[in-house]
Structure formats: C-alpha cells, structure tokens
Amino acid sequence: MKRLRRGFTLVEVLIALVLLSLLMLVLAGALRALGGVEERVEQRITAADDERAAVRLLGDVLGRVSARRFPLRQAGGPAEAPFFEATPNALSWIGIMPARFGAGGRHYCRLAVEPGPGGGRLVLRYAPWTGAPTFADWDHAQSQVIVAPVQQLSLRYQDPASGQWSAVWPPPGVPFNALPSTLLPGAVDIQVEGPEPSWPPLTVVVVATRSSDPSAATGSFGGGRL
C-alpha cells in the first residue's frame, strides 16, 4: 500500500518535462515549416498573376504598332520609316495603350530596364502621341512597372521574310527593299532575367495598325503571342 501511494520522483518529473519540451519544439517547428510553405505558395500565386497581367499588357501594347512613316535624315536608308527604335536591351515605338490604364489611344512607348529600389525594374513608359516623328523625354513620361527586381532584358526581332532573329532592327546586312512594307519586324522575343519564379521566353507578334499599314486593305488587326 505504501508503494501504491508513492508519487513521482524528481527525476521522473524532470524527464517528463524534457520530453514535453521536445514535443513542443517539434510541433512548433512543424507549424513554422507549414507557415513557410503557405507563404511561398502565396508568393508563387501572386507572381504568376503578375506575370499573366504583364504578358497581357505587353501583348496588347506591342501587338498594335503604328507603321506611320516619318521623314528620315539617315544616309543609306529609306526616305521615310516608322518610329521603331529597336536595340538588344530597349525598344521604343508608337503603339496603342489599352483604355484600362486611363491612357487609351496612340502613345509613344518604351520598354527598358531602369534602376530602382532593390535592383532593376522592367518599366513601360508612355506619353501621348503628338505627331512628332520621335520622342526622347522619357524621364517625364508616365510609367508602369512590369516586374521587379530584374537583372537584364534581352530583345530579339524576327525578319518575317526569312524567319531569322536579330538583336537589332532592321537586321544588319538586309536591304530595306527586302523588308516588309511596314518596315516592322514580324515578332519581338522578350527574355527577362531576374524575377522569381523566372519568366519563360515571351514572343509577341507585331501587327501594324490598319490605318498606318500601307499594305492593309480590309479587316481589323490585333496583337497576339506565339
């Protein structure tokens, strides 16, 4: 009877407390891991939504490009050409901004990486079209951050006649009379390095607006992605 009424010893209590503490640590670690997984899933969902919105915006703006020609003062080139300044890391053109941005209609546009807090940012700048053949005051133009942070933007332009890609437009060595009547590339390949999760390569078909395309006869035109 004395042995049955005996309580726990101090050593047994300490062992029980240690085991309980270990169990609590394991449960706390599991809860933290579960919270981290949930946060990463939410980040990936948000990043995927941002990517879809950015792809849609680029497809809309680059998918309708003005082919209206302006006089040039460049020796060895055509007398007139559209405003389409294409380099490996930046692109400037006259396009149609979607009305959902409160800036519908024809605008000067530029896509490039700009410095910003925490690193580079892929920025679309736009300013209302004034009829001038070029635009250079990009610092005062409105801007829309496409994605951040970004390390590099790589652009390529497709010659619709040959299907070949070039880092600049017009392609070096291709005579102007061999280019399409719009003097625009058939598509633009966009590769963005830096965002997480990483973007897949994006190809946007370039379609001249009907009112500016010298070869357009009937029908309407819109942008798209390959």
Q: In what order do the strands lie in the sheet with 165-166?
A: 165-166, 152-158, 187-193, 202-205, 224-225
Predicted local distance difference test score (pLDDT) of residue 62:
82
Distance (Å, rounded) from C-alpha 192 to C-alpha 188?
13
Residue 89 lies in a domain: yes
Residue 85 lies in a domain: yes
pLDDT average, residue stretch 84-113 = 87
CA distances, 217 to each of 43, 212, 214 (Å): 47, 11, 8
Q: What is the CA radius of gyration of the chain?
A: 29
Instruction: Return the bridge partners of 84, or none.
Output: 93
Residue 2 lies in a domain: no
pTM more than 0.85: no
Total domains in the chain come to: 1
Give the model's confidence band at 125: pLDDT under 50 very low, under 70 low, under 90 confident, else very high. very high
Residue 17 lies in a domain: no
Q: Is the confidence at residue 226, as pLDDT, over 60?
A: no
Owning domain of residue 52: 45-225
Distance (Å, rounded) from C-alpha 111 to C-alpha 98?
15
Give the model's confidence band at 101: pLDDT under 50 very low, under 70 low, under 90 confident, else very high. low
Q: Is the confidence at residue 74, as pLDDT, over 70?
A: no
Q: Is the confidence at residue 79, as pLDDT, over 90?
A: no
Residue 100 lies in a domain: yes
Q: Is the confidence at residue 54, as pLDDT, over 50?
A: yes
Polymer length in residues for the chain:
226
Give the model's confidence band at 76: pLDDT under 50 very low, under 70 low, under 90 confident, else very high. low
Neighbours of 118 (CB within 10 A): 8
Residue 16 lies in a domain: no
Predicted local distance difference test score (pLDDT) of residue 48:
66
Residue 201 lies in a domain: yes
Cβ atoms 118, 110 nearer than 8 A: no
Residue 4 lies in a domain: no
